[in-house]
Amino acid sequence: MIRILAVLLLLPAPCFAQVRGAAVSVVPQINLGAGMISPSVPLMDGALLPLSMSLPSAFGAIAPAPAASPFASPAAPVAAQPAPTALSALNPAVAATPAKTASPVTAAAVPVEVQKSASNAMFDGALNILIAGSEAVPFIKTGGLADVVDALSRGLSARGHDVTLVLPKYKNLKTAGVEFKNAGTVSVPIAGRVETANLLVGRHEGVRVVLLEHPEFYEREGGPYAAKHEALGLSAYEAAGIDDADERFGFYARAALEAMRVLDIKPDIIHAHDWHAALIPSFLKSVYKNDSFFADTKSALTIHNIAFQGAFALATAGKLGFDEAHLNHRGGANYMKAGITDADAVTTVSPNYAREIVENVLFAMGLEEPLRARPEGVQGIINGIDPVMYDPATDPDIARHYGIEDVAEGKAANKAALQAKLGLDIEPETPLFVVASRLAHQKGIDMIFDSAREIVRLGGQLAIAGAGDAETETLRAALVLAFPGRVGSHPFDEKAVRLFFAAADFLIMPSRFEPCGLSQLIAQRYGTLPIVTRTGGLADTVKDLRDDPVHGDGLIIRAIASISLSRAIANAVSGYHHPDAFPMARRSAMEKDSSWEPSLDLYEALYRRLLGTDGPVKR
């Protein structure tokens, strides 16, 4: 600890890590046939401007540029970074012993929870939609996937569609006040045996929720992706190729289809999310290709993070009833590859991320070939946030409510509350920077640590909410010790993070890749300006103040490097002290519409296109 503290105190920033790897410039057009991004030299930031300046230059110029605008426009997207971590090597799957199935139930009369929503009769063009994702709030959450699956399900239901959400019944799943009733069983053949699950059905805010109760597969300690053999220390989300993750989520995909048959709900659309559900389109194209029950069903696959693919030994294909060629990708069985190939439509969670994974092999993670082979391409549809759930005017977890007109007073009160909570000096005029994420390399935590000294030097404060590995936690603790009253930390907690957003002036989010990101949208809703890298959904959702001082709502880091983040922070501090520029930027952020409504329009249009129907869905 003493050694780490000495490093923090004595070495100049950046002192933690160097960014490795070549920079790549993202081309703004999609070329499905080719278009690999060529390496380029990262562009560095220029000199800073003084605090006293006119409104157009309040946030400083990143680099001198011969442009007509008084703002120097940030460069084209640059990703000076190592390639995102490659997929784990394929290892032979551990053969699982025959699973203990859930106790059988006798299917009584179909409960009201199973019945189709009577309100659908009032809507022309209403669809039967199956949403398949491994997690959804309020039932189970380990990441942003849960928020999206829930919001999409409820949003489509509110528009009059009959929506069914299928989830595994994990050990730590919350019932959220929903009364679940037995509705029968489903059986799925796996590796020469038959696995059976109970169907438990309830309703949540208009959505029919189906739980697959299979204790051996899903009711485990350690969360939804816990390995069967805890000593392995593996997460099924990463699917390292061993344990029984292939069987658990292969079962989930086919059981979701069988559940619809048992409930007698013929889906018009099946919308699968990430690799855990990616085999559903493949089952439809192979095992169920001649099944009249699904004859008119179309499928869509949304990629939330292509780094996680469900990669296993090739023998997995035969265990699930596929020919090896169907799942084969570079010698192994790959669930995401199969879904990309077989789905009727493939989407991802932002337009820019769609460009990145199609054009840039670093972002495609080895799946560039099946992505580019899709003649209709990959559609990027940005995620939204719930404006009711995230509203500083009503949020019960912040110190004082506020809106656009009293944001200064409201944020001052919340800043004082957070400063007191974290042991920071209580200074209402001090610019407060926050971090609210996993403390991981992908999230740029090394750059954040490197830039902490710059924040303190400029008179600011840094508050960190999140969790990381042992080394990262040690470094975070050392930062707090090195800068008492200026740097504070707190474990990641959904409620506590609300106060971080309400108190902060700036959110630091220097992700090396970020398919969409929700934190920047929540921050803007609370009047906190994001400082982000130009990657994935961050590029789609943050407008740089130096490009557009009137409508800008954040700052974009020009290069993925600690020096660039430090200079963006200095620009932010300069703008913070400007009496007109900062309030204008904060208002722009809070007035931004980041709701789900525009995205729901795009998903409905996609469903109509797949089904060959004309005109809008009538509501």
Task: Say yes or no: 348 and 495 in one domain.
Answer: no
Query: At 415, which CATH number?
Result: 3.40.50.2000
Residue 478 pLDDT: 96
Task: Say yes or no: 378 and 394 in one domain.
Answer: no
Task: Say yes or no: 302 and 220 in one domain.
Answer: yes
Task: Say yes or no: 410 and 359 in one domain.
Answer: no
DSSP for 292-342 reads: GGGTT-EEEEEES-TT---EEETHHHHHTT--HHHHEETTEEEHHHHHHHH
Token pair of 396 as six digits:
């019960």
Instruction: Judge whether residue 3 has pLDDT over 60.
Output: no
- Asked if the structure places residue 73 within a domain, the reply is no
Contact 353, 537 (CB under 8 A): yes
Q: 541, 482, 477, 549: which is closest to 507 by C-alpha?
A: 541
Task: Say yes or no: 273 and 402 in one domain.
Answer: no
Instruction: Judge whether residue 297 has pLDDT over 50.
Output: yes
Task: Say yes or no: 284 and 349 in one domain.
Answer: yes
Q: Cβ atoms within 10 A of the Cβ of 580, count? A: 11
Task: Say yes or no: 329 and 242 in one domain.
Answer: yes
- Asked if the structure places residue 101 within a domain, the reply is no
- Mean pLDDT for all residues in the chain: 83
**Phi-psi label, residue 22: left if phi above 0, alpha if psi -120 to 50, beta otherwise:** beta
Q: How far is residue 22's CA from residue 447's CA, in Å, rounded to a whole number?
A: 17
The answer to whether the predicted template modeling score (pTM) of the entire model surpasses 0.75 is yes
Task: Say yes or no: 378 and 400 in one domain.
Answer: no
Instruction: Judge whether residue 35 has pLDDT over 50.
Output: no
User: Model confidence at 237, in pLDDT bands (50, 70, 90)?
Assistant: low
Instruction: Judge whether residue 162 has pLDDT over 60.
Output: yes
Which residues 6+ apart lie within 8 Å of 326 measured at CB?
282, 286, 317, 338
Residue 581 pLDDT: 94
Task: Say yes or no: 353 and 473 in one domain.
Answer: no
- Asked if the structure places residue 51 within a domain, the reply is no
Task: Say yes or no: 328 and 391 in one domain.
Answer: no
Sign of the torsion formed by the C-alpha atoms of 266, 270, 275 and 279: positive
Task: Say yes or no: 510 and 607 in one domain.
Answer: no
Domain that holds residue 248: 118-384+598-611
Q: 331, 334, 337, 263: which is closest to 301 by C-alpha?
A: 337
Task: Say yes or no: 143 and 229 in one domain.
Answer: yes
- Asked if the structure places residue 462 within a domain, the reply is yes
User: Model confidence at 546, in pLDDT bands (50, 70, 90)?
Assistant: confident
pLDDT digits (tens, 9 = 90+) for 99-127: 333 333 333 344 555 555 433 433 458 99
Q: Cβ atoms within 10 A of the Cβ of 470, count? A: 7
Contact 458, 432 (CB under 8 A): no
- Asked if the structure places residue 75 within a domain, the reply is no
- Asked if the structure places residue 244 within a domain, the reply is yes
Q: How far is residue 446's CA from residue 18's CA, in Å, rounded to a whole number?
A: 8
User: Model confidence at 224, in pLDDT bands (50, 70, 90)?
Assistant: confident
Q: How far is residue 38's CA from residue 40's CA, in Å, rounded to a whole number?
A: 6
User: Model confidence at 140, in pLDDT bands (50, 70, 90)?
Assistant: very high
pLDDT digits (tens, 9 = 90+) for 59-81: 654 333 333 322 233 333 333 33
Instruction: Judge whether residue 28 has pLDDT over 50.
Output: no
The number of domains in the chain is 2
Which residues 6+ apart lie within 8 Å of 223 measured at CB?
142, 170, 172
- Asked if the structure places residue 530 within a domain, the reply is yes
- Asked if the structure places residue 525 within a domain, the reply is yes
Coil, helix or strand at residue 390: coil
Residue with tokens 């400063």: 419
